[in-house]
A = this chain, B = another copy of it.
Amino acid sequence: MAGDTSGQTITAVERTALVMSAFAQADSQHLGVTEISNNLDISKAVVHRILNTLRSLDYIAVDPATRRYMLGPAALELGLAFLRHVDVRDIAKPMLEELSAKTQETATLSIRSGTHRLYIDQVTPSREVKMTVLLGRSFPLHAGGSSKAILAHLAPEDIEDYMSDVVLEPLTELTITDPDLLMKDLARIRRLGYASSVNERQPGAASVAAPVFDHSGWPVAAISLCGPAERFQDQADEAAALIVAAGRQLSERMGYRG
C-alpha cells in the first residue's frame, strides 16, 4: 500500500513529506533541526531550508525564543479539509460496484443516524432475481447485518443504553429480540469482524456486513453484501471475506488508523 515507488518522484518533496510526518508523529510539539536531521538522515542544511520554506506558507511555525519548530495553522487547514471532503458515499461507490460484480449480488452502504441506520447507496447485479433495498429507509440497530455491524462496535455504554432504551422490536419472525442473545451475537461479530444475518430484517433475505470507522474510531457506517437467502448462503464465506476487506479499506480512507 503505502510507500509505493511507482512512477516519477521528487526527492525534495519526499523529504518534505517525511519532515511533516515527523511532526505529526512526534510526542512533543517542538522539534529542532538537528533532531530531525538525525532521525531522518537528511543534512541539517536541507532540513533547515525545508522548514524555512514551509514556515513562509504557515505549514510550520517557529518559536523565535527557542528557535524550535512546530506545526502551523495551515497543517490544521489540511486536516479539516480532509474531513470536509470525505464523503463515505463517493469513496464507497467504486467498492460497491466491485463487490457486486465479483459476487453477482447486491452491495449496500448504510450510515448510522442515532438509534437507527439507513441505506444511502446500493449497487445491484444484472440478473433477474436479485435484492433491492430502499434507499433512505431507516431501520433499528438490532436487526439485519449492517445494523448489527454498527451496533457491535459502539461504545459499551452506548450498547447498554440502546438495549435498555429501545424495545427490541421484531421486524420478522427471526429478528433477535432477546437482549442476552443479541449481546452474544454482537460479541461474535466483534470477534469475526463482520456480521451476518438471515431473515432477520427481511424475510427471504440474507447478508454479511462490515463496520466502517471514521477517523475517531467510531462506526459511522456499514457496508454489506446481500441477496436471496437460499442462494446467498452458499457463498456467504466468500462474501464475508470480501466485505471485511472492503470495510477495512473504506475505514482507512475515512481517516481511520487501525
Which residues does A use to contact B, with CB under 8 Å? 2-5, 7-10, 12-14, 16-18, 20-21, 23-26, 28-29, 48-50, 52-59, 61, 63-65, 70-87, 90, 94, 111-114, 118, 120, 134-138, 215, 252-253, 255, 257
Rank and list the top 6 A-B pairs by shortest CB-CB distance, nearest first: A79-B79, A80-B136, A29-B85, A73-B113, A9-B53, A24-B81
A61 touches B114 (CB 8 A): no
24 A-B pairs in the complex with CB atoms less than 8 angstroms apart: A4-B55, A8-B48, A13-B16, A18-B57, A23-B78, A24-B77, A24-B78, A24-B81, A25-B77, A29-B87, A61-B253, A64-B94, A65-B94, A70-B85, A71-B82, A73-B111, A73-B252, A74-B113, A75-B78, A76-B78, A76-B82, A76-B86, A76-B118, A80-B137
A45 to chain B, nearest CB (A): 8
Residue from B17, B61, B84, B255 in contact with A134 in the complex, judged by beta carbons closer than 8 Å? B84
Given A23-B78, A29-B90: A13 touches B83 (CB 8 Å cut-off): no
Inside 8 A of A2's CB, which chain B residues have their CB?
Answer: 56-58
B76 touches A71 (CB 8 A): no
Inside 8 A of A253's CB, which chain B residues have their CB?
Answer: 61, 73
Inside 8 A of A64's CB, which chain B residues have their CB?
Answer: 94
A77 touches B74 (CB 8 A): no
A120 touches B76 (CB 8 A): yes
Inside 8 A of A28's CB, which chain B residues have their CB?
Answer: 85
B79 touches A78 (CB 8 A): yes
B113 touches A77 (CB 8 A): yes
Inside 8 A of A26's CB, which chain B residues have their CB?
Answer: 81
A85 to chain B, nearest CB (A): 3
Inside 8 A of A114's CB, which chain B residues have their CB?
Answer: 57-58, 73-74
Inside 8 A of A5's CB, which chain B residues have their CB?
Answer: 56
Residue from B13, B73, B82, B135 in contact with A12 in the complex, judged by beta carbons closer than 8 Å? B13
- Roughly how many angstroms separate A12 CA and B10 CA in the complex, as a whole number? 8
